[in-house]
Chains A and B, each alone.
Chain A
Amino acid sequence: MEKVLQIINLSKTYQSAGNTLTVLDDINFSVLAGSTNAIVGPSGSGKTTLLGLCAGLDAPSSGIVELNNINLGKLNEDQRAQVRNQYVGFIFQNFQLLPTLTALENVMVPLELRGEKNIKALSMELLDKVGLANRSHHYPSQLSGGEQQRVSLARAFSNSPKILFADEPTGNLDAETSEKVVKLIFDLNKEAGTTLVLVTHDLDLAGKTQRIIRIKGGKLVADEPTNQQ
């Protein structure tokens, strides 16, 4: 199977008050297309930093991040933005919808950026899939947390991404809503055949993926399959 993400000798360090702080240290792994993966670890272990680097939101201090065979280290920020628009979908813990755009407009943005046609119908279809077709003209502030995360899901799948990164997607939701959102993530992912990489400290959620990558103190300490094959 094709490798959609490859991480080779990845390190990230920060300079703070004259000291070098190593957040990620020599991480190596790869992600196969269509697979579902979870990165888990305690608070401060570096999992969000790793997600940011994998998605091309930040540049590594050393090492290689290859996304869909594109070495992100050789691209500038604008080119990485282009990669994200083309191949990546995002789901955030705090939803990160644009507050001044309606639900429909939020879903439309990635498609508009790509200059695609028939955007509105496609976006409405996605909103329908997440059960929010009747709330398409509402602003984020007029939606509940669960509804906002569903809009975020519709947006994440709108550009038919190769890979979907989710950062604690249920972190801000109650148990009942979390369950619905998780189901939607996995259903949509399966339907679209997208690769899923999610960061969580919720081991139940991680257990729903095919593979768990464990991070501790900036190091990869375990990389094991689950029984969800």
Chain B
Amino acid sequence: MDNFNLKRKINIPWLFEMAWRDSRRNRSRLLLFISAIVFGIAALVAIYSFRFNLEGDINSQAATLIGADLTISGTKPIEADLKPLLDSLGDKRSEQRDFVSMVYFKKAEATRLVQVRALKGEFPYYGSLETTPIQAGQTFRTGQNALVDKTLMLQFNAKVNDSIKVGNVTFCIAGVLNKAPGQTGISAGVAPTVYIPLQYLEQTGLSKKGSRIQYNFFYKFNSKVDVEKLTKRIDLRLDKAGLNYETIQTRKENTGRSFGDLTRFLSLVGFIALLLGCVGVASAIHIYIREKITSIAVMRCLGVKASEAFIIYLIQIIGIGIIGSVIGAFLGSALQFLLPSVMKDILPFTMSTNISWLAIAQGIILGIIISVLFALLPLISIRNISPLNTLRLNTDNAIINKDPLRWLVYFLILLFITSFSTLQLGSWVAGIFFTVGVSIAFVILTVVAWLLMKVMQLIIKNSWSYLLRQGFANLYRPNNQTIILIVSIGLSTAFICTLFLVQGVLMKQITLSSSGNQSNMILFDIQASQKKSIADLTRKQGLPVIQQVPIITVRLEKIKGKTSSDVKKDTTLNIPSRAFSFEYRVTYRDSITASEKVIAGTFVGKAPTTGDIPVSIEERFSKRNHINIGDHLVFNVQGVSMPVVVGSIRQVNYGKIQTNFQIIFPTGVLESAPQFYVLLTHVPSNKASAKFQQVVVRNFPNVSIVDLGLILTVVDELLDKIGYIIKFMSAFSIITGLVVLIASVRISKYQRIQESVLLRTLGASRKQIFAITALEYLFLGTLSALTGILIAVSGTWLLAKYSFEIPFAIDLMPAVILFFVITLLTVIIGLLNSRSVLNKPPLEILRNNA
């Protein structure tokens, strides 16, 4: 033995060179692998960039969102003992009262329900009331002037210096309100704003006792004051007085939280696109390595170590990952410029579109990680490829199946999916559920594919036609693609179909209908004394009185004997403290309505003369606050404590437009409490609506009218926008799914080509090859799509029942369309792949594929 050294150093530069050389003749095949990563990463980077910009904007614009350092608000006039405290806060103070009221546009002779803001002081201290002309934001405060929201100005064709009537007072329109602090395009559409000076509020006659007014106090601190500390100090007193407060910091947190939910959901949609990409990467690399077995065996023969062969292909995969991720990241960065224009109406601030290098870096790193992780399973098999394959090719899967390292790879994949989905969904439980769901889908599809192969082996009979036998036998013959195609096509179908179905289920929940005889107009703030005359007036106009219900405002004082402070002190009580901060609008009646169903206990319509008052609570209220039949509650009814017991729990169908209540009292208890009435009617046309509104406003200026037709249009627009955003993001999943489908079917080409060429050589006609290929892919496509859709339907049912807690009612049409599209695409792509076999002489193909 002459100076033989068993330990040779790994020559890294040579490995890079080999990786480059080895990829040279396969780059067109790698293009599909790259596409699989590109769209998933693009979706995520777009969302990440959007999220980072959003966070930056919230931080930089939080002060202008709230307009002051501190805001204190409540629904009751401030009591005398609290006034000195409120007057002692801040260096500058402003006061504003908000309420909804009908406003009459004189020139247009039309009325509309608006959000009236009666303001005193220099608010906003940060940002401004953006008006046209600019100075109107300041000058309107000095006289009998108003600022009117631009949507109203447009709707009623009003001009500056026109007049509007709010209650009993006529104001001159000093300017058009373009934007107020914290206002979104959508909120302006639902309840457009009119600003008036506070000193005229009393004259309007709209601030009488019983009116639902929000009292706001805005503070600006000139000196450096720790507002958070200050609010902590006065928190208890404010809480006792039923007042809430908001600081720049809390607004920042709240805004961030509400948009956090949105970006989290969108990120999850993006993640699904990425997961589909992972399926594409895994299946493509699997076949790629399988094709490389001989090359790897030759290299091993020539002295390449197992680890070196592994590194050569790992370098290629990392290279592909980097290229795909970089393209995806920059595509995503470009796409994020579209998101703010899509979302501008639901954002309360100006959205910036800076290139987020952090998002790009995250996208690229994530792309590389998933490329490597999902390619690892086929990659580790390289270590086991024997040089003996140069003498006798053995493509047996056993080399992968026997490798103990595969368990580590499975674990890493599951860990990655769980961690990443947890990050997206913000909860471990949700992350684990998501991963378990994906794993179950994977297992189901694998089992279906395995069963298919077994069943085919059993049922194929010699009596079948040759084409049928050949087409179906391809499903279980050696080197078949049945499992990989059914899993990848099935998973893609399941992901995309789930997105469609969940979107449909969610949309169904909030789709309102103003058709037929359903109520489309609501009159509220009707005083007890006006109840009868308004009902008469409605009927006189030829309109039905569909419902007229009393409403009483109450607060919860005790739940099962525990007060708000008990609950705050002891978190083990399992009662959310926010249950005490709400004002509940309750009613009393002796029966349930058609849209209600008692699901526990007995509904009591008339209060018993002795004993506890039995109330009926709504199912979700019961679940949220952990209140059950027989539990004791104490309500504060306008200052009077009223102990009750839960007598029944109701399920309420909120889909119908009518007054629905969380809490219903029996008759004979609240009749003498301060209350107002709500009347529901149906107006047949816009003309009838305008006429009715004018008559009501003229006779009962305090009564507010909500034209649901108008609101529904705005809500529809909002839903359209949200739906568009979801569809926009889902499009990435669909494109990636398509790429995976193409990749999956294309890679099977290399397995089938040899066989088809042999058949051609033996004399099979083009028609016969066409039929055999079509049959195989038709069967694969049908089964994959069907299984994927069934998984999606089950997944949607689980999500509807346990996550969204809404009824499971799906529209099967998208699923049916998806079924045909996926099946057809599978067959078309399969046939397109075979066209070279069909159109060229066998020898040419044999030479090219040698």
Contact = CB atoms under 8 A, between A and B. Distances in A.
A52 B25 contact: no
A90 B24 CA distance: 25
A97 B850 CA distance: 11
A69 B2 CA distance: 9
Contact of B388 (A52, A68, A78, A84): A52
B21 A48 contact: no
B746 interface: no
A70 interface: yes
B304 to A, nearest CB: 6
A136 interface: no
Main secondary structure of the interface of B (DSSP, over half): helix
A84 B301 contact: yes
Contacts, number: 100
A52 B391 contact: yes
Given A83-B4, A92-B390, A100 B303 contact: no
A180 to B, nearest CB: 21
Given A48-B391, A112-B14, A58 B303 contact: no
A155 B299 CA distance: 12
Interface string B817-850: 0000000000000000000000000000001101
B388 A141 contact: no
Nearest to A162: B2
Interface of A: 48, 51-52, 55, 57-58, 68-70, 75, 77-79, 81-86, 90, 92, 96-101, 105, 109-110, 112-115, 139, 141, 155, 167
Contacts of A57: 301, 386-388, 390-391
Contacts of A98: 22, 295, 298-299
A81 B22 contact: no
B6 A82 contact: yes
Contacts of A84: 301-303, 387
Contacts of B8: 82, 85, 113, 115
B100 to A, nearest CB: 73
Given A48-B392, A98-B295, A101-B21, A81 B14 contact: no
B762 interface: no
Contacts of B294: 96
B1 A70 contact: yes
A79 to B, nearest CB: 5
Contact of A69 (B1, B21, B301, B303): B1
28 contacts: A48-B391, A52-B388, A52-B391, A55-B301, A57-B301, A57-B386, A57-B388, A70-B1, A78-B305, A78-B306, A79-B6, A82-B305, A84-B387, A85-B303, A86-B303, A90-B301, A96-B297, A96-B298, A96-B390, A97-B298, A98-B299, A99-B25, A100-B22, A100-B25, A101-B22, A112-B17, A113-B302, A141-B848
Contacts of B390: 57, 90, 92, 96
Interface centre among B25, B26, B297, by most chain A C-beta atoms within 10 angstroms, is B25
Contacts of A90: 301-302, 390
Interface residues of B, number: 38
Interface centre among B2, B6, B392, by most chain A C-beta atoms within 10 angstroms, is B6
B307 A92 contact: no
Interface in B279-321: 294-295, 297-307
A118 B307 CA distance: 26
A110 B391 contact: no
Contacts of A112: 11, 14, 17
B303 A113 contact: yes
B23 interface: yes
A100 B302 contact: no
A100 to B, nearest CB: 4
Nearest to B849: A141
B307 A78 contact: yes
A97 B390 CA distance: 10
Contacts of A48: 391-392
A99 B291 CA distance: 11
Contacts of B2: 68
Nearest to B300: A81
B391 A139 contact: no
Given A51-B391, A57-B390, A82-B5, 6 more contacts: A78-B305, A79-B6, A85-B8, A92-B391, A96-B298, A139-B25
Interface centre among B14, B24, B300, B301, by most chain A C-beta atoms within 10 angstroms, is B301
B306 A110 contact: no
Contacts of B6: 75, 79, 82
